[in-house]
Amino acid sequence: MSQALRDPHPKGRAKALERSHRAGKQRIPIRVSRTDQLARHPHHLAIHLNNVRHRLPLRRAPIAYGLTVANIEGKATAITVITPVKRGGPLLLWLVFWAGRNMEWTLKKLQTLSFIHFARWAVIKRFPDGREGERLNHTYLLFESNFNGAWEQYIDAFSEVVALRMKAIWGTSLGFPGPLPVEPFKGYIRRNEFVANHYYSAYPGATTTEIVSAARVEAALEELARTSAGLDPDSFGEAYASFLTKLQRDL
C-alpha cells in the first residue's frame, strides 16, 4: 500500500497545489469513517486515499463517496477507472478501438483472460449535462470491468498477458507508467479508480470459467439425453462414462 500511496509526479502535483494555493483555494479535509470496512479491503483504502491525495483542492463540500466498499459482489469485482488523455491521444485511441472492433483476434485475447465477464472502454470528449456536454481541457478515458477474483491478480494478468494492448490503450493517458513493471501500473490504476457506490451481479456465486463450463455441461447433457434414449443399461453406462470423461474439466 505504501508504494501505491507514493506520488509519482511530485513536481507536477506540487506545482499545481502551489498554483491553487496562490489562487486562494483551500484544501478541505475529507473525513474517513467506516474505516473498519475499508481496513478489510486494503486496496480500497489505498484507492480512496489516493483519490483524495491526487485531486486538486476541492471547490465544494467534501464528498463521502468511496467510504462504502461496494466493489465486490460475491465472486465478482467491479473496477471503474477514468484517466486523462494526452494531446493527440484521442486519434490514437480511435485507431486502437477501431482495430479492437474490427479485428476479431484483438478481443479473442481478452477471452484468454478467462475471468472477465464484461468490460468496456469509452472515450469521454464531453461529460454529458443534458445539453452539448461539459468539455474539459482533456479528453478522458473510461474503463470498467466486471471480473472474478482478486484485484491484484486482475492487474497482474493485464500486465503480463495483454501488456501490448494495455500499452496501446492507456499509453495515450497522462501519467501511465507502462504495464511493466506491475507495481507502478497498479499504483496508476489505484489513483485513477473510483470505488462503486452500489454494485450488482445476477450470478454472484459464479466465476466466468464456471459459467462457460456450465454451458458445455448443459449442451453435453442434452446430447446424452437425446442419444441415449433407446440404449440398454450397459450401453448407457458406457455412454455415461464417456460423457463424464469428456466433461471432467467442467464439473
Partner 1 sequence: MNDRRNTCGQAYGLTVMTPILEGHESALAHYLSTLGTGSASPLASVSGTHFARWVVIGDVVYEGGRQRPEHLRVGRLLFTSNFDGLPEPYLEELRTGLGEVADQVWTHCAGYPGCADADADAFAAYMRSHQIESSLFFAAYDERTVGDVQRSLVTRRRMIEFAVRAQELTPGELQAAFRETFAR
Residues 40-79 that bind partner 1 (CB under 8 A): 51, 54-56, 58-65, 67-68, 70, 73-74, 76, 78
If one asks whether residue 1 binds partner 1 (CB under 8 A), the answer comes out as no
Sole residue written with cell 490504476: 189
Say which residues have a Cβ less than 8 Å from residue 126's Cβ, sequence separation at least 6: 132, 133, 134, 135
Work out the number of other CB atoms within 10 angstroms of the CB of residue 42. 12
CA distance 53 to 194: 13
If one asks whether residue 170 binds partner 1 (CB under 8 A), the answer comes out as no
Say which residues have a Cβ less than 8 Å from residue 92's Cβ, sequence separation at least 6: 168, 171, 172
Candidate segments 38-46, 91-99, 154-162, 178-186, binder of partner 1 by CB under 8 A? 91-99
If one asks whether residue 19 binds partner 1 (CB under 8 A), the answer comes out as yes
215-234 positions binding partner 1, by CB under 8 A: 215, 217-218, 221, 225, 228, 231, 233-234
Whether cis (ω within 30° of 0) applies to the bond prior to 128 is no
Query: What is the grid cell recorded at 114?
Result: 478467462
Figure out which of the listed residues 5, 92, 140, 161 binds partner 1, where binding follows CB under 8 A.
140
Least distance in angstroms from the C-beta of 182 to partner 1: 19
Candidate segments 38-46, 89-97, 149-157, 178-186, binder of partner 1 by CB under 8 A? 89-97
Figure out which of the listed residues 5, 32, 82, 92 binds partner 1, where binding follows CB under 8 A.
82
Work out the number of other CB atoms within 10 angstroms of the CB of residue 9. 13
